């Protein structure tokens, strides 16, 4: 069984850099399809402070076209192999909704499975893929239909408990579970904001938490639709998580700016609390 990657830090959240090898991701689709562009992007992220590289080959944006399994594999597996060859010690996360793709990704060198759907029916096959590979699993909260505001957070926590139980029952070890609140997946703007504000309550379940809000539309009412402005909002959310001690991993597009924001917040927090 392979060595488990470092997925949390006692001092600061790890930065997970997003590497989309897709033609249609909402903010960077088509930019990193060529092998040279993809590798240069990976190099820049590692240089700028990424502790994990998250590689996805199918867009999960609302209304996005479905990618066939063969097409997803044709993009994902070469990218994982190339990044692994270039950076043998940097953890790689495979972002996918298909257990069969996750299994192939693990064989190619992925250290983490980032489950973007987390369908726990049928014995949670994605969790079985992670368990068989002996690697961590990111469990993403992804609901169908909008829940009522008043019942939302209690139902969210209950749902996450159920997903964790299903993953453990499928054979995933406790120290291989990572929780993602699924910002933007079937939630209203208010619910997304509540999840960020109450993220520490999710972390209180006893597992590392991944926060993925980078450039998401939840920030549009605040800063508008420009992705640079949304990067500013993303950094603010990351700093909030640092101050609340509520996230172990921050999944972002702009690695350098977010890494700098986190380092600054941690430094100020440590001075303030001494």
Task: Return the active site residues.
Answer: 216, 251
Burial class of residue 158 in the structure, from the number of CB atoms within 10 Å of its CB (0-12 exposed, 13-18 middle, 19+ buried) = exposed
CA distance linking residue 257 with residue 261, whole number of Å: 6
For 101, the enclosing helix (H) or strand (E) is helix 99-108
Closest CA to 240 of 183, 164, 186: 183
Q: Where are the beta strands (DSSP E) in the chain?
A: 14-20, 52-56, 92-96, 112-115, 137-140, 177-180, 210-211, 249-252
Cβ contacts of 225 within 8 Å, gap of 6 or more: 217
For 4, the enclosing helix (H) or strand (E) is none
Closest CA to 13 of 180, 196, 257, 262: 262
């Amino acid at each position: 069984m392979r060595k488990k990657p470092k997925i949390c830090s006692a001092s600061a959240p790890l930065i997970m850099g997003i590497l989309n090898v897709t033609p249609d991701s909402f903010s960077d689709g088509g930019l990193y399809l060529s092998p040279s562009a993809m590798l240069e992007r990976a190099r820049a992220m590692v240089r700028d402070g990424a502790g994990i590289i998250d590689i996805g080959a199918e867009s999960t944006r609302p209304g996005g076209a479905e990618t066939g399994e063969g097409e997803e594999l044709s993009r994902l597996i070469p990218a994982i192999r190339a990044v692994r060859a270039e950076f043998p010690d940097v953890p790689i996360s495979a972002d996918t909704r298909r257990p069969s793709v996750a299994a192939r990704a693990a064989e190619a060198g992925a250290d983490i499975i980032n489950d973007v759907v987390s369908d726990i029916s049928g014995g949670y096959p994605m969790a079985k893929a992670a368990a068989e590979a002996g690697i961590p699993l990111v469990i993403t909260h992804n609901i169908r239909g909008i829940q009522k505001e008043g019942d939302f957070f209690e139902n969210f926590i209950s749902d996450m408990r159920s997903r964790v139980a299903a993953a453990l029952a499928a054979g995933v070890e406790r120290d291989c579970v990572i929780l993602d609140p699924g910002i933007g997946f079937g939630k209203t703007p208010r619910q997304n904001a509540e999840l960020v504000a109450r993220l520490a309550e999710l972390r209180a379940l006893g597992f590392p938490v991944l926060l993925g809000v980078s450039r998401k539309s939840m920030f549009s009412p605040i800063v508008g639709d420009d992705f640079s402005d949304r990067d500013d909002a993303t950094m603010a959310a990351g700093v909030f998580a640092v101050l609340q001690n509520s996230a172990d991993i921050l999944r972002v597009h702009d690695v350098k700016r977010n890494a700098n924001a986190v380092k600054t917040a941690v430094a100020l927090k440590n001075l303030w609390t001494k």
